[in-house]
A and B are shown apart, each in its own frame.
Chain A
Amino acid sequence: MDGLYRSFGRPLTFGLFVTVALWLFGLILLPQLSMIQRAFQVEDRGGVSAQLSVEIEKLYVRQFEIDQQLRAIEQPAAAQPTAPSPFAPSVGGAPAAPSPNDPFAGLSAGKAPAADPVETEKKRQALIAERADVVARIGELEARESGPAAVDLRYSLENFTSMTAVHFQIFIATLFYALCVTVLAFLVCYPVAYAVAMAGTPDRAALLLLALVIPYAINELLRIFAWVMILERQGLINSVLDWLGIIDFAAGEGFRFVASNGAVFAVMVYAYVLFMVFPIYNTVETLDRNQIEAARDLGASTWRIHTRIVIPHAKPGIAVGAIMTFMLSAGSIAVPEIVGRGMHPDWFSQVIYRRFFEADSWNEGAAYSLSLLAACMVFILAVMAVFKVGIRDIAR
């Protein structure tokens, strides 16, 4: 604190804290909390609300009856005086004629010449009074119906436990695929990151790095689209799946399954592989090459050099790469939406989307999002534990 005051003075320090507080609470914590709140909140519109709507329905019926009766009373009476009024302007342009836009003007004018004035008037007044009563009651009930009182709000785990078997299966499958993408991305990336980091000349290193940066910076959607073209038009899909078949879906799963999920899986590896390259490259680059030379001179095998020197040194980078790749693929909506075209089993992100925007069930959507977030957090903590790295090493 003293350091801050000394550096920036009180007003500026205050301003900095306010800005950070806005960020922390306004953009991060409170949105998370409102999602968590919704995730555990069940809106039961069953009991109270149903009663209310029945009552309101009855009142509307009564209102309609009153209107009918009123019209029956007023019709013969109103017909006489109002009949000439439409012609009035054309005849004499009488300025006193009741405006046709004002129904009450017509009513008051029709009172005088009514056939049985006293009886009808009494009945009419009673009906008008009752109608006003009914309208007021409808307003009151409707306010209660849309207000919080009618909704039976409860906090429970229902949004999670009511997750259907299909959704739960998708959830697990998504996490499993994301894990596979992560492992595969590591296997593909590690040699690349190593080769680029150990490039002989600075020129070669710069060129290789450029060749990595360009696809990395090109929009995810476009890179997915490029693959959609290949998979759809060129018929390369078979060779691609052949190549993939070795790694993931071996025999027994059936061709159809591979054709759908395999495509999503392959494109996902392509789309997120570079998020693994850069963190690993960054750490391997800082490795002192003399260590490798020394190990080599002492007779270590290539395998041993990597498992004992390079990989331990690159641990923070591998951890970051794994976390990013897992998080991106588990939460990816672009790849399954665009490559899958609804023809492959859902990805969990799509289930979440549908909960929000198609099923209009925000509470369940929130619960599902929270599950995904929790899974990612568990993965991050597991990676941090396995690689023995801290949060400072991860986000750099």
Chain B
Amino acid sequence: MTDQTAAIPALAPLRKGRGTVDWGEVILNGYLLLFFAWMFLPLILMVLAAFNANPTPSATEWQGFTLEWFARLPQDERFMQGLAHSLIIAAGVIATAIPMGLAGALILSRMQSRANTFLYTLLVSPVLTPGIVLGATTMIFWRDLFGVQAGLFTTIMAQAAFIAAYCMLMFMARLQRQDRVLEEAALDLGASPFFAFRRVTLPFLMPTVLTAAFIAFLQSIENYNTTFFAIGGSWTLVTEIGSRMRFGLSPMINAIGVIFIAITVIVAVTHTLVIRKRK
């Protein structure tokens, strides 16, 4: 407290004078630069190593440019099989999480009840639960009650539990912005509630359905912690990458990394440009 009061006279004049250098700003910018260097440098090194002929991934011991590691990917059966598993799981998760999230959002935004917050807490709880716990509970539940061994199905169930919550939050945000007048008008003009829902509310939610499906897809493909427990003897692309990393480094992982990064950058840049255009 005491050094705060001491700092006031020293800093205040700096701020007041428009012409002088704003050292606070300079420090902050320098810090930002450091931060982003810290974020991006490791990734850049990883990308470089993907094109290095050196069979142990390295960005410094350069042994010539090569695309070999990319060419090897389609021939690797476990990677390809894992990719197929990942896509199956993602499709299953989208098919499960979107209706659940939508139903949860519709009920929570229209139900005036004391149970509302309680239900909300329960439905959102998987987001706040460690991934490995979700995976473990799902694995135990399906084996103990139905004798279903851990595999693709249990992974879908485990992932859907928390991805549905993300979807629900997105739908709730959209529903908050809904102008209820149209729906009321449809109901007043004699439309059945189901008809009004199908022709008014659902079209309004449609863009969010697409966004939520996309987010659910990404979340599912990228998930490691939950999948690691729920997948049992099977594997997905990401768990396969994980187990390869544990048993030694290979530039093929760098090659996959480059593909992931390229997709991420393209999607993120497109998204930003689209948003800017709309504004």
Interface on A for B, CB 8 Å cutoff?
1, 3-9, 11-12, 15-17, 19-20, 22-24, 26-32, 34-35, 38, 188, 191-192, 194-195, 202, 206, 208-211, 213-215, 217-230, 232-234, 270, 274, 296, 299-304, 323, 327-328, 330-334, 337-338, 341, 349, 352-353, 356, 362, 365-366, 369, 372-373, 376, 380, 391-392, 394-396
Contact, CB under 8 Å: A206 / B276: yes
* Stretch touching chain A among B6-14, B63-71, B72-80, B205-213: B6-14
Query: Would you list which residues of chain B between 129 and 162 have a CB under 8 Å from chain A?
Result: 129-134, 136-141, 144-145, 157-158, 160-161
Contacting residues, chain A, for B38 (C-beta < 8 A): 270
B20 contacts A by Cβ under 8 Å: no
A8, B106: Cβ atoms closer than 8 Å: yes
Task: Report how far A395 CA is from B127 CA in the complex, Å.
Answer: 8
Question: Within the assembled complex, what's the spacing in Å between the Cα atoms of A42 and B28?
Answer: 57
Contact A395 B169 (CB under 8 A): yes
* Nearest 8 pairs of A and B residues by beta carbon: A331-B130, A9-B193, A226-B42, A31-B141, A19-B103, A31-B137, A27-B161, A23-B100
In the complex, how many residues of chain B place their beta carbon closer than 8 angstroms to a beta carbon of chain A? 105
A270-B38, A356-B229 are contacts. A218–B45 as well, Cβ < 8 Å?
no
Q: Give Cα A29 to B224, complex, Å.
A: 22
A32 near B43: Cβ-Cβ < 8 Å: no
Q: A210-B272, A219-B238, A223-B43 are in contact. Are A28 and B125 (CB under 8 A)?
A: yes
8 other A-B residue contacts (CB within 8 Å) besides A3-B112, A20-B119, A392-B117: A4-B107, A221-B224, A225-B46, A225-B249, A302-B24, A304-B8, A352-B136, A353-B228
B110, B140, B192, B218 interface centre (most CB from chain A within 10 Å):
B140
The residue in chain B whose Cβ has the minimal distance to the Cβ of A38 is B140
Q: Is the CB of A352 within 8 A of B35?
A: no
In Å, the complex CA distance between A352 and B49 comes to 34
Q: Which of B56, B145, B228 contacts A333 (CB 8 A)?
A: B228
Taking a contact as CB atoms under 8 Å apart, the answer to whether A1 and B129 are in contact is no
Residues of A within 8 A of B138 (CB): 27, 31
Given contacts A228-B245, A230-B45, A373-B130, contact A24 B122 (CB under 8 A): yes
A349 → chain B, closest Cβ, in Å? 5
Which of A11, A20, A228 has most chain B Cβ within 10 Å? A20
Known A-B contacts A11-B194, A31-B140; the reply to A229 vs B57 at CB < 8 A is yes
Q: Are A229 and B24 neighbours in the complex by a CB distance under 8 Å?
A: no
Main secondary structure of the interface of A (DSSP, over half): helix
Please state if B40 and A338 are interface contacts (CB–CB under 8 Å). no
CB neighbours of A233 from chain B (8 A): 56-58, 60-61
Measured CA separation A199–B236 after assembly (Å):
40
Cα A301 to Cα B106 in complex, Å, equals: 47
Residues of the B chain whose Cβ atoms lie less than 8 Å from the Cβ of A35: 133, 136-137, 140-141
- B253 and chain A: residue at smallest CB distance: A225
B130-A372 in contact (CB<8A): yes
Q: Are A192 and B42 in touch, CB under 8 angstroms?
A: no
Contact partners of B253 in chain A: CB under 8 A: 222, 225
Complex formed: what's the CA distance from A7 to B200 in Å?
Answer: 11
A330 to B129, CA, bound (A): 11
B120, A392: Cβ atoms closer than 8 Å:
yes
Q: Which residues of B contact A366 (CB under 8 A)?
A: 136, 140
Task: Return B201 CB to nearest CB of chain A, in Å.
Answer: 8
In the bound assembly, the distance between CA atoms of A226 and B157 in angstroms comes to 31
Determine whether B83 belongs to the interface, using a CB cutoff of 8 Å to chain A: no
Does chain A have a CB within 8 A of B82? no
Query: Do A327 and B130 touch (CB < 8 A)?
Result: yes
Q: A172 CA to B52 CA in the complex, in Å?
A: 42
A12 proximity list for chain B (CB < 8 A)? 193-194, 197
- In the assembled complex, how far is the CB of residue B44 from the closest CB belonging to chain A, in whole angstroms? 9
For the complex formed, measure the closest distance between the CB of A199 and the CB atoms of chain B, giving whole angstroms: 10
B266 to chain A, nearest CB (A): 10
Q: Which of these, B12, B193, B241, contacts A6 with CB under 8 Å?
A: B193
Please state if A300 and B122 are interface contacts (CB–CB under 8 Å).
Answer: no
**A334 contact from B15, B59, B224, Cβ within 8 A:** B224
Known: A223-B43, A372-B130. A217 touches B268 (CB 8 A): yes
Q: Which of these, A3, A208, A303, A341, contacts B111 with CB under 8 Å?
A: A3
Knowing A7-B193, A217-B268, A395-B124 are in contact, say whether A222-B46 is a contact too (CB < 8 A): yes
Query: Contact string, B1-44, partner A, CB cutoff 8 A, digits 1/0?
Result: 00010011001100100000000100011011001101110110
A221–B194 contact, CB under 8 A? Answer: no
Q: How far is the CA of A30 from the CA of B32 in the complex (A)?
A: 46
Interface residue? B92 (CB, 8 A): no
Q: Which residues of A contact B267 (CB under 8 A)?
A: 217
Residues of A within 8 A of B183 (CB): 7
